[in-house]
Amino acid sequence: MMDKEFLIFVTLMGLAIWFWLDSMRAHEAAVKYCKQACENEGWVYLDQAVELKKIWPRRNARGRMQWRREYAFDYSTSGGDRQVGLVVMSGPTVQQLTMMSRDDEFHQ
């Protein structure tokens, strides 16, 4: 029979691996979406990266718990400036994208 501590350890390791894989999937989806959004506007996606700002649990449309993540990213509207955009992900799905344009209008 397995020790109680071993079962707890294996369970915690499994949860940690699941969380890491879920985080990587959301991160990759955010990078892809931000890059595409910048290309669609004719802007430059700088650094090819997103930075995790916030993470919190939230229920999705089906009532299941999911991690909601807010990422910041940098882009340029003219090639000589640096703007900050935000993308909110629920799992690997984009919930909201906020970017400021050259004429100070929000794009979502």
Query: What gap in Å lies between CA 53 and CA 26, rounded to an integer?
Result: 13
Question: Burial, 44: exposed, middle or buried (Cβ in 10 Å; 0-12, 13-18, 19+)?
Answer: middle
Q: Specify the pLDDT at position 26.
A: 95
- State which residues form the domain around 59: 25-107
Query: What gap in Å lies between CA 43 and CA 104, rounded to an integer?
Result: 14
Model pTM? 0.84
With 80 as the cut, is the pLDDT of residue 100 above it? no
- Contact (Cβ atoms closer than 8 angstroms) between residue 71 and residue 50: yes
Q: Could you read off the pLDDT of 35-73 as tens digits, one per residue?
A: 999 999 999 999 999 999 999 999 888 898 899 999 999
Whose structure tokens read 């029979």?
1
Compute the mean pLDDT over every residue in the chain, rounded to the nearest whole number: 90
Share of the chain above pLDDT 90, in %: 74
Query: What gap in Å lies between CA 84 and CA 45, rounded to an integer?
Result: 10
Please check whether residue 6 lies inside any domain of the structure: no
- Measuring CA to CA, which residue among 104, 98, 105, 101 is closest to residue 76? 101
Please check whether residue 71 lies inside any domain of the structure: yes
Please check whether residue 67 lies inside any domain of the structure: yes
Please check whether residue 5 lies inside any domain of the structure: no
Please check whether residue 50 lies inside any domain of the structure: yes
Strand partners, 26: none
Q: How many domains does the chain have?
A: 1
Please check whether residue 78 lies inside any domain of the structure: yes
